[in-house]
Amino acid sequence: MGFSANGKQCLLPEEALYLMECGNLQVFHQDLPLSIQDGYEKFLSANTVSLQQYQVFGHLKRLGYVVLRFDPSSESSSYARQLNLPQSRDRAGRQLKRKRSLSPAPSSTPTATCSRAEAQEECSTEKMEEDKCSEGEEDIKLPEPPEAQSSADEGGGRSWWMMDVLGDSDKDSGHGSKSGSSCWDFSSISFPDLGSTSREHFPSDLAPPDPSLLPGDLKVGFCDIAPWRQKINLRQVKMSANEQKREKYRRRWDVNKNREVRRCRNWAEYQELMARRKGKREGRPAHLWNREVTPLHDPTQPIATGELLEKISVIKPTHLLEGASRLKDADDWRICFNVYQPNTVADFKKSNPGKPYSRMCVCSFDDPVPDLRAIKLLAYQSGDIPVVIAVVDYGDISFYTFKDFQLPTDVYP
């Protein structure tokens, strides 16, 4: 308590009044001692210390705190505090650590990248399954052209090219060869299946084909199939039960069985359907990416979760001191006191008080609630020490404080 000025020990009016109330001080004015009532009436006014502020002062002093007046000019700027106080260094260190944890982590494991790369290949899903399941097998070569597989499976032929066939099988070969417009009926011509593994279709040699099918005077004799068959790999593929099931489904797959395909009336629509499917598969549907307004982020590009959240966020988080330095001083909200913890708890010396425990701002319940502007101003004036608002209600004092709070983001990079 008290200060020295001009070589004399002086007391502030609220301190003098408090000591008078405790019975430790007698104040004389013109050689006559003052009563407490005189003290109240002379020391407390709206210009110096108001009655409400004195109530808060007395309340805190009776609890044991050290309460000093707040002097805004004696507060160091935030930059000066950064240079001197060790606490601010810790906070900077903590901020750095937080920044480091937000940076994107090194990318995923090799298997994950491998599977993503495979997904980007232009192959049908069934082929991908086959690739995976055949890793142990040397028999199947990757990738096999789909046409060869499908032709090997065909029992009956596809019918769409048959629509172009106009000719009938009864045509005389003599007529047909000259005219050129005669098409052959491929369903009646037997093409031998040399790759067939079933025994009954296995003749030792082939009969010569119908001379009408051959051009000119070409004469073909019997053909020995054996050396040809040796060149063909006819070993049975060893498949597990799963693989056999998958084989069965694949044999039955027909692109024309798909309802969407059947809905296409011409090639252009079918190509559109293929493009749509490709876009969906790859994550870049055409109807989203072909316009002026495109999605914020291409899902095929890798990005850390934290960065993605920041990219799509509409409301950016802000902290209390943002923009506070630009605010001009307001008259109504002022910090009155610095409150320090007593010497038993913290080191308090009049020459070196240290950091206050909190700063007090006094108002009453009739006053309006402080708006964001007032709170920002008070927080800026106070620096890093919380501002407590003491609301005086005719004898009761309630303390309120506003704390800065950042919503946690559930991101584990």
Partner 1 sequence: MEALSCGERRLGSEEEYAAPAVGVSLCDSAPLVWRMQDLRAVRAEGLVGALLGSLPRTPRQNGRLGRPLLLLPEEEGLLRERRAAAALPDRCQDWGGAELRQKHEEEEKRSFEEQSVLALEDRKLALLRAMTGAESGATSADEALRRRLQALDQNFTFPQSAMAVQLSTARAGLSYCPEARAFLQAYGPPGAEPRCDARYQVFRDLRGRGFYLTSAGKFGGDFLVYPGDPLRFHAHFIAVCVSLDESVCLLDVLAVARLGSNVKKTVLLCSPGPDARVCYTSLQWSGMI
Residues that bind partner 1 (CB under 8 A): 18, 20-23, 26, 29-33, 35-38, 40-41, 44-46, 50-51, 55, 58-59, 62-64, 364-365, 391, 393-396, 398
Tell the smallest beta-carbon distance from residue 351 to partner 1 (Å): 25
CA-CA distances (angstroms) from residue 154 to 10, 147, 167, 193, 254? 111, 11, 23, 11, 11
Rg (CA), the chain: 46
Residue 389: how many other CB atoms lie within 10 Å: 22
Counting every residue written for the chain, the total comes to 413
Smaller CB distance to partner 1: residue 362 or 379? 362
Cα distance between residue 275 and residue 273, in whole Å: 5
Smaller CB distance to partner 1: residue 20 or 388? 20
For 18, the token pair is 């408090």
> Beta strand pairing status for 28-29 and 205-206?
unpaired
Smaller CB distance to partner 1: residue 51 or 96? 51
Tell the smallest beta-carbon distance from residue 404 to partner 1 (Å): 25
CB 165 within 8 A of CB 185: yes
Q: Which amino acid is at 297?
A: H
Tell the smallest beta-carbon distance from residue 356 to partner 1 (Å): 21
List of residues 6+ apart from 381 with CB closer than 8 A: 72, 75, 335
Smaller CB distance to partner 1: residue 339 or 391? 391
Tell the smallest beta-carbon distance from residue 371 to partner 1 (Å): 19
Smaller CB distance to partner 1: residue 36 or 232? 36
User: What is the helix (H) or strand (E) element at residue 86, kind and residue range?
Assistant: helix 86-102
Cα distance between residue 202 and residue 193, in whole Å: 9
Cα distance between residue 373 and residue 401, in whole Å: 15
Smaller CB distance to partner 1: residue 93 or 342? 342
Smaller CB distance to partner 1: residue 41 or 205? 41
SS3 28: strand
> In this structure, what are the phi and psi dihedrals at residue 60, rounded to the nearest 5 degrees?
-70, -40
CB 306 within 8 A of CB 102: yes
Tell the smallest beta-carbon distance from residue 21 to partner 1 (Å): 4
Tell the smallest beta-carbon distance from residue 393 to partner 1 (Å): 3
Smaller CB distance to partner 1: residue 339 or 379? 339
Cα distance between residue 233 and residue 197, in whole Å: 10
Tell the smallest beta-carbon distance from residue 17 to partner 1 (Å): 9
Side-chain-facing half-sphere of 118: CA atoms under 13 Å:
16
Tell the smallest beta-carbon distance from residue 335 to partner 1 (Å): 20
